[in-house]
């Protein structure tokens, strides 16, 4: 039997509760028109995100999940799941798992677009909260010489390591946050959430080398002011790139 748990939120919001869904026996996640669906063998009580259960009977949930996850192109980069046939030439192949970052969410596409605006060749890049590793892998593909990806979730570090190997790029993946990072970087990207960005503002900017760039996302348009205030207190003004519902923020350190 297959049960679908239909929610009124997107995959990013669902992924914030990945551990709870995993403990409940999650079999997979998909998104259509900005609404996430979680797949289970049976209904589960007390999930952290409101939704409605639908009994689908004997269906192949995995096939349905794959059907709804198509390649996404941002500038010169295309992100695709491994089952796409034919695979777009030069695509970043990302296996969707229980780590955020299929490449489809507006926060991820915004960061991918900004990475392509920067001269990354031979630069050092830090990806904080790497999830699936998609941004770190993209940075390596764009020519970065040294890419460090960190995440506190072991599911994420496992996913990022596997995806890097599948794409033939070398990135240093570590479990943890900024406490496992030494030195400074030409580009620091952090696709997190508002509260975490505000909490880490000073430490994130402290990892940006002189003349370097900070890219932050995971912030809804309604909460942009909170992040601007936190980074201003840390001595850095942020430029805001507004999307439909989410923003990407850019800070630059003086040379």
Task: Give the pLDDT confidence score for residue 32 in this predicted structure.
Answer: 79
Note whether 34 and 155 are same-domain residues. Answer: no
Note whether 24 and 149 are same-domain residues. Answer: no
Task: Give the pLDDT confidence score for residue 160 in this predicted structure.
Answer: 95
Task: Give the pLDDT confidence score for residue 15 in this predicted structure.
Answer: 74
Note whether 149 and 247 are same-domain residues. Answer: yes
- State how far the Cα of 23 lies from the Cα of 34, in Å rounded to an integer: 24
Q: Give the CATH number of the domain where residue 12 resides.
A: 3.30.70.1170
- State how far the Cα of 76 lies from the Cα of 71, in Å rounded to an integer: 13
36-41: Cβ within 8 A, 24+ apart: 36/7, 36/9, 36/10, 36/11, 37/4, 37/5, 37/6, 37/7, 38/4, 38/5, 38/7, 38/14, 39/2, 39/3, 39/4, 39/5, 39/65, 40/2, 40/3, 40/5, 41/1, 41/2, 41/3
Note whether 116 and 239 are same-domain residues. Answer: yes
Q: What's the structural domain count of the chain? A: 2
Note whether 197 and 122 are same-domain residues. Answer: yes
Q: Give the CATH number of the domain where residue 168 resides.
A: 3.40.50.150
Note whether 30 and 123 are same-domain residues. Answer: no
Note whether 146 and 49 are same-domain residues. Answer: no
**Final residue belonging to a domain, choices 32, 67, 102:** 67
Task: Give the pLDDT confidence score for residue 14 in this predicted structure.
Answer: 84
Which phi and psi angles does 166 have, rounded to 5°?
-65, -30
Q: What is the DSSP string of 53-92?
A: EEEEES--HHHHHHHT---EEETTEEEE-TT-SSPPTT-E
Task: Give the pLDDT confidence score for residue 155 in this predicted structure.
Answer: 86
What's the pTM?
Answer: 0.78
Note whether 226 and 209 are same-domain residues. Answer: yes
**Final residue belonging to a domain, choices 67, 88, 103:** 67
CB atoms within 10 A of CB 159: 26
- Domain membership of residue 12 as a residue range: 2-67
How do the pLDDT tens digits run along the chain, 255 residues long? 788 899 999 877 887 787 788 889 888 777 777 888 988 889 999 999 999 999 987 766 556 656 667 788 999 999 998 888 899 999 999 987 655 666 678 889 999 999 999 999 999 999 999 999 999 999 999 999 999 999 999 989 999 999 999 999 999 999 999 999 999 999 999 999 899 999 999 999 999 999 999 999 989 898 999 999 999 999 999 999 998 888 999 999 998
Note whether 86 and 47 are same-domain residues. Answer: no
**Final residue belonging to a domain, choices 67, 98, 119:** 67
Task: Give the pLDDT confidence score for residue 41 in this predicted structure.
Answer: 86
Q: Sign of dihedral through CA atoms 99, 102, 104, 110?
A: positive
Task: Give the pLDDT confidence score for residue 29 in this predicted structure.
Answer: 78
Note whether 54 and 97 are same-domain residues. Answer: no
Note whether 37 and 89 are same-domain residues. Answer: no
Q: Sign of dihedral through CA atoms 193, 191, 248, 6?
A: negative
């Amino acid at each position: 039997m297959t049960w679908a748990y239909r929610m009124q939120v997107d995959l990013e919001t669902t992924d914030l509760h990945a551990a709870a869904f995993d403990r409940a026996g999650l079999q997979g996640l998909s998104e259509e028109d900005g609404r996430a669906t979680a797949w289970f063998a049976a209904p589960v009580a007390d999930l952290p995100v409101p939704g409605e259960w639908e009994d689908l009977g004997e269906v192949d949930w995995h096939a349905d999940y794959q059907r709804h996850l198509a390649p996404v192109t941002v500038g010169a980069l295309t992100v695709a799941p491994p089952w796409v046939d034919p695979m777009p030439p030069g695509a970043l192949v990302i296996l969707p798992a229980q780590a955020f970052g299929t490449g489809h969410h507006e926060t991820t596409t915004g960061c991918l677009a900004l990475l392509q605006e920067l001269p990354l060749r031979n630069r050092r890049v830090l990806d904080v909260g790497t999830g699936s590793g998609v941004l770190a892998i993209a940075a390596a593909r764009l020519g970065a010489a040294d890419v460090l990806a960190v995440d506190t979730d072991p599911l994420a570090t496992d996913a990022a390591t596997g995806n890097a190997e599948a794409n033939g790029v070398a990135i240093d993946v570590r479990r943890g946050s900024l406490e496992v990072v030494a030195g400074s970087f030409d580009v620091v990207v952090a696709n997190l959430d508002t509260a975490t960005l505000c909490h880490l503002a000073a430490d994130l900017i402290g990892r940006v080398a002189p003349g370097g760039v900070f890219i932050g996302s995971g912030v809804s348009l309604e909460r942009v002011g909170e992040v601007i205030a936190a980074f201003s207190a840390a001595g850095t003004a942020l430029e805001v790139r507004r999307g439909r519902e989410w923003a990407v923020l850019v800070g630059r350190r003086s040379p």
